Amino acid sequence: MEWVHRLNQSINYIEEHLTGEIDYEQLGRIACCSTYHYQRMFTYMAGITLAEYIRRRKMSLAAVDLQGGCERIIDIAEKYGYRSPTAFNRAFQSFHGIAPSSVKDGGVAVKSFSPIVFNISVKGATEMNYRIETKESFRIIGISVPLDREIEHNFMVVPKMWQEASIDGTIQKLAGMMNTPPMGLLGVSVCNDEEQWKYFIAVSSTKTSDELEEYTVPASTWAIFSGTGTNRSIQELEQRIITEWLPTSGYEYANAPDIEVYLNPDPQNTQYEVWIPVVKTKG
């Protein structure tokens, strides 16, 4: 319950800073997790990305300001962090479907987007199979791509990376180098607050290659969930972990990478595991 309470405290922080700077790292600190894990939880629980939520809240409040009729559009744009009226107009029309000037003239309908309140909803739906394991650090080798600190910018980057790795033979090469547990093709999100975020396609291995990058996954405790299906089903499992299991589990995110372990490479009938780094909930 404390975990959900902290998420709602983070929403309060957002509300208090809609006309100032919203520090994503501060949101993570409020929720006691990394910036990456906060954005990931938010997206799955709210159904939209954090950046999109903030945009919608700003545009909802901007419409109220415009209806007041006392402030200039350029001043309202600056108030909500837009450096140019053009960028503000684009964001406003994207949300409301009309130009800001039309609202100032009056007599038009606008959209209202209220602050989110998180709560626990007990669904009692499909069971999830998982285990808790504490593992020593292990070395991985593979290829990586830098990730943006706003995770919505990465939605196209990772799938493209997997597609290219499959076509150019990288995946086949990595499979031949795998020789230590976990025995599977790995998708590793290394997204702590101290260094550049990266996503790895890799394997656990003691072998070396000048063409590949090394990384050591730190010793951690993991909640490991197993599943089968298409590549889309792994995303559905990850959403269920965060929205159904994590809030009532007695655990919260730890500062370690998220890992997807692909045990069967067939994209239409994948066998996989989702590794979530966890620590016992404080208090």
Mean pLDDT of 115-129: 75
Least Cα distance to 54 among 100, 19, 6 occurs for: 19
For the stretch 124-151, pLDDT in tens is 556 788 999 999 999 999 999 999 998 8
pLDDT at 282 over 80: no
For the stretch 173-195, pLDDT in tens is 999 999 999 999 999 999 988 88
* pTM summary value: 0.85
- Side-chain-side CA neighbours of 215 within 13 Å: the count stands at 22
For the stretch 197-246, pLDDT in tens is 999 999 999 999 999 999 999 999 999 999 888 767 888 899 889 888 88
For the stretch 41-88, pLDDT in tens is 999 989 999 999 999 999 999 999 999 878 899 999 999 999 888 999
Least Cα distance to 185 among 167, 164, 198, 166 occurs for: 166
Exposed / middle / buried, residue 275 (Cβ in 10 Å: 0-12, 13-18, 19+): buried
Q: Which residue has the higher pLDDT, 98 or 194?
A: 98
pLDDT recorded at residue 283? 58
Please state, in angstroms and rounded to a whole number, the distance separating the CA atoms of residues 248 and 206.
Answer: 38
Exposure string for 68-80, b = 16+ CB within 10 A, e = fewer: eeeeebeebbebb
pLDDT recorded at residue 92? 95
